[in-house]
Structure 1
Amino acid sequence: MTTPIERLSGLVVGVVESVAPDEVRALLELDAPHSTALNTGVPAGFPRLNGYVLIPNEAGATVAYITWIGIERSPYPKRSGLKDFGLIDLPFPLRKMSLSPVGTLTSRRDRASGMTRYELSRGVVAFPSVGDQVLIPTAPQIEAIVGARDDDKRVRIGSSPMASSAAIMVDPDKLFGRHLAVLGNTGSGKSCTVAGLIRWSMEAAEKSLKEAGKTGVPNARFIVLDPNGEYARAFADRGDELRLFRVPPVTGGERPLDVPAWLWSGHEWTAVAHAQPGAQRPLLMQGLRELKAGQTEGVPREAMIRRYLGSYSIRISAMLNTGTQAFGGAAKARFECARLLETIASDCSQFGGETLGTASGALAAISTTITGIVDGRRSGNFFNDFTISDLETIRSALDTLAQTLPDIGHATLISEDAPQFFDVNILAEHLDRVATEQGGNLAGFISTLGLRIRGMLADQRLGAVIGRDPPTSFESWLKDYIGDDGASNGQIAVVDLSLVPSEIVHIVVSVLARLVFESLQRYRRGHPKGQTLPTVLVLEEAHTFVRRGKDDDGPASSPTQLCREVFERIAREGRKFGLGLVLSSQRPSELSPTVLAQCNTFVLHRIVNDADQNLVARLVPDNVGGLLRELPSLPSRQAVLLGWAAPIPVLVEVDELPDAQRPQSADPDFWKVWTLTEERGVDWGAISEEWSGAPPVHDPEE
Structure 2
Amino acid sequence: MELCIGEVIAVKGIKIIIKVYEQSNLETIFYKGQTYQGISINEHLCIQRGFKDIIAKVEGEYLDESRAETENHTVSYIRKVELQPLGHFEGESFFEGVKHLPMIGDRVFLLNKEKIYQIYSQGNGDFSIGQTIKDSIRISLPWQHLFNTHIGVFGNTGSGKSNTLTKLYTELFNGDVKRTEAINKHSKFIVIDFNGEYTGKQLVSSENKNVIKLNTRTSGGGKVSLSESSFWSAEVLGLLFKATENTQKPFINRVVSGFVRFGDSVETLERYLNSTFFSMFASTSQARESIDLLRALGSMLDNESDVSGKLNQVTWYAKGSVFRLGNVYFNGGEDDFNKVFCDFKLSIKKDIDTFERFKIRCHLQLINDLLHGFVQFDFIQPLLKRMDAVIYDLSKVINVQSSENTVQQNNKLLTVISLRQCNQEIKKIIPLLLTLNYYEAHKKSVQEQSNIDRTLHLIIDEAHNILSQQSNREAESWKDYRLELFEEIIKEGRKFGVFLTLSSQRPADISPTIMSQIHNFFIHRLVNDKDLFLIDNTISSLDAFSKNMIPKLAKGCCVVTGTTFDLPLLIQVDKMLDGQRPDSDDIDLEKLWGATHD
1:36 and 2:28 equivalent?
yes
**Quick one: structure 1 residues 477 and 250, their matched pair in 2 at CA, closer, same or farther if it must change by over 3 Å?**
farther
Asked if structure 1 preserves the Cα contact closer than 8 Å seen for 2:132 and 2:571, the reply is: yes
Distance 1:289 1:227 in 2: 35
- 1:372-415 residue CA offsets vs partner (Å, 9 max, x unmatched): xxxxxxxxxxxxxxxxxxxxxxxxxxxxxxxxxxxxxxxxxxxx
- 1:590-628 residue CA offsets vs partner (Å, 9 max, x unmatched): 111111111111111111112211221224448823222
Matches within 5 A, 1:541-690: 541-548=462-469, 557-621=476-540, 624-676=543-595
- 1:414-461 residue CA offsets vs partner (Å, 9 max, x unmatched): xxxxxx987234254144224314415443322221121122234xx4
SS for the counterpart of 1:194 is: helix
Distance 1:122 1:452 in 2: 58
Q: How far 1:167 sits from its partner (Å)?
A: 2.2
Distance 2:461 2:182 in 1: 33
Asked if structure 2 preserves the Cα contact closer than 8 Å seen for 1:206 and 1:217, the reply is: no
**Quick one: structure 1 residues 299 and 505, their matched pair in 2 at CA, closer, same or farther if it must change by over 3 Å?**
farther
Asked if structure 2 preserves the Cα contact closer than 8 Å seen for 1:59 and 1:125, the reply is: no
Matches within 5 A, 1:265-284: 265-284=233-252
Distance 1:178 1:217 in 2: 18
Of 508, 520, 539, the residue aligned with 2:460 is 539
Name the residue aligned to 1:133.
107
Q: How far 1:541 sits from its partner (Å)?
A: 0.8
Name the residue aligned to 2:207.
240
1:230 and 2:162 equivalent?
no
Of 94, 99, 120, the residue aligned with 2:94 is 120
Q: How far 1:219 sits from its partner (Å)?
A: 4.5
Q: How far 1:73 sits from its partner (Å)?
A: 3.4
Distance 1:640 1:216 in 2: 27
**Quick one: structure 1 residues 462 and 165, their matched pair in 2 at CA, closer, same or farther if it must change by over 3 Å?**
same
**Quick one: structure 1 residues 63 and 477, their matched pair in 2 at CA, closer, same or farther if it must change by over 3 Å?**
same
Of 82, 89, 94, the residue aligned with 1:98 is 82
Matches within 5 A, 1:399-410: none
**Quick one: structure 1 residues 623 and 633, their matched pair in 2 at CA, closer, same or farther if it must change by over 3 Å?**
closer
Asked if structure 2 preserves the Cα contact closer than 8 Å seen for 1:75 and 1:89, the reply is: no
After the TM superposition, which of the residue ranges 122-131 and 285-294 deviates more from structure 2? 285-294
What TM-score do the two structures reach when normalised by structure 1? 0.67
Name the residue aligned to 2:415.
493
SS for the counterpart of 1:660 is: coil
SS for the counterpart of 2:24 is: coil
Distance 1:677 1:54 in 2: 59
Distance 1:54 1:154 in 2: 28
Asked if structure 1 preserves the Cα contact closer than 8 Å seen for 2:44 and 2:55, the reply is: yes
1:506 and 2:428 equivalent?
yes
SS for the counterpart of 1:231 is: coil
Name the residue aligned to 2:167.
196
Of 214, 221, 224, the residue aligned with 1:258 is 224
Q: Residue type of the partner of 1:510?
A: L
Name the residue aligned to 1:451.
385
Distance 1:283 1:530 in 2: 42
Of 394, 397, 413, the residue aligned with 1:465 is 397
Of 34, 37, 52, the residue aligned with 1:60 is 52
Distance 2:542 2:451 in 1: 40
**Quick one: structure 1 residues 249 and 57, their matched pair in 2 at CA, closer, same or farther if it must change by over 3 Å?**
same
Q: Residue type of the partner of 1:74?
A: E
Distance 1:255 1:86 in 2: 89
1:182 and 2:153 equivalent?
yes
**Quick one: structure 1 residues 96 and 215, their matched pair in 2 at CA, closer, same or farther if it must change by over 3 Å?**
closer
**Quick one: structure 1 residues 89 and 607, their matched pair in 2 at CA, closer, same or farther if it must change by over 3 Å?**
farther
SS for the counterpart of 2:140 is: strand
Name the residue aligned to 1:416.
none
Distance 1:517 1:441 in 2: 36
Q: How far 1:637 sits from its partner (Å)?
A: 1.3
Distance 1:644 1:139 in 2: 24
**Quick one: structure 1 residues 138 and 88, their matched pair in 2 at CA, closer, same or farther if it must change by over 3 Å?**
farther
**Quick one: structure 1 residues 454 and 129, their matched pair in 2 at CA, closer, same or farther if it must change by over 3 Å?**
same
1:49 and 2:21 equivalent?
no
What TM-score do the two structures reach when normalised by structure 2? 0.78
Matches within 5 A, 1:436-447: 436-447=370-381
SS for the counterpart of 1:94 is: strand
Distance 1:508 1:622 in 2: 35
Q: Residue type of the partner of 1:15?
A: E
Q: How far 1:187 sits from its partner (Å)?
A: 0.8
Distance 1:678 1:203 in 2: 43
Asked if structure 2 preserves the Cα contact closer than 8 Å seen for 1:23 and 1:98, the reply is: yes
**Quick one: structure 1 residues 73 and 505, their matched pair in 2 at CA, closer, same or farther if it must change by over 3 Å?**
same
Q: How far 1:570 sits from its partner (Å)?
A: 0.9
After the TM superposition, which of the residue ranges 592-601 and 618-627 deviates more from structure 2? 618-627
Q: How far 1:121 sits from its partner (Å)?
A: 2.1
Distance 2:490 2:113 in 1: 38
Distance 2:367 2:597 in 1: 60
Q: How far 1:645 sits from its partner (Å)?
A: 2.1
Q: How far 1:92 sits from its partner (Å)?
A: 2.1
**Quick one: structure 1 residues 248 and 548, their matched pair in 2 at CA, closer, same or farther if it must change by over 3 Å?**
closer
Rg (Cα) greater in structure? 1
SS for the counterpart of 2:22 is: coil
Name the residue aligned to 1:159.
131
Q: How far 1:215 sits from its partner (Å)?
A: 9.8
1:479 and 2:408 equivalent?
yes
Distance 1:255 1:90 in 2: 84
Q: How far 1:275 sits from its partner (Å)?
A: 0.8
Q: Flag the structure with higher strand content.
A: 2
Distance 2:59 2:275 in 1: 79
Name the residue aligned to 2:288.
none
Q: Residue type of the partner of 1:474?
A: S
Q: Residue type of the partner of 2:585?
A: A
Of 409, 421, 439, the residue aligned with 1:517 is 439
SS for the counterpart of 2:396 is: helix
Q: Residue type of the partner of 1:610?
A: D
Q: How far 1:249 sits from its partner (Å)?
A: 9.4
Distance 2:460 2:200 in 1: 17
Distance 1:143 1:451 in 2: 63
Percent sequence identity over matched residues? 25
Asked if structure 1 preserves the Cα contact closer than 8 Å seen for 2:184 and 2:412, the reply is: no
Distance 1:178 1:476 in 2: 23
Name the residue aligned to 2:282.
none
Q: Residue type of the partner of 2:357?
A: D
- 1:626-652 residue CA offsets vs partner (Å, 9 max, x unmatched): 222111111111111111221211111
**Quick one: structure 1 residues 259 and 126, their matched pair in 2 at CA, closer, same or farther if it must change by over 3 Å?**
same
1:433 and 2:367 equivalent?
yes
Q: How far 1:300 sits from its partner (Å)?
A: 7.0
Name the residue aligned to 1:17.
9
Gaps of 5+ in 1: 1-7, 77-83, 108-117, 305-352, 357-419, 484-488, 551-555, 680-702
Equivalent residue pairs, number:
514
1:74 and 2:65 equivalent?
yes
Name the residue aligned to 1:319.
none
SS for the counterpart of 1:167 is: coil
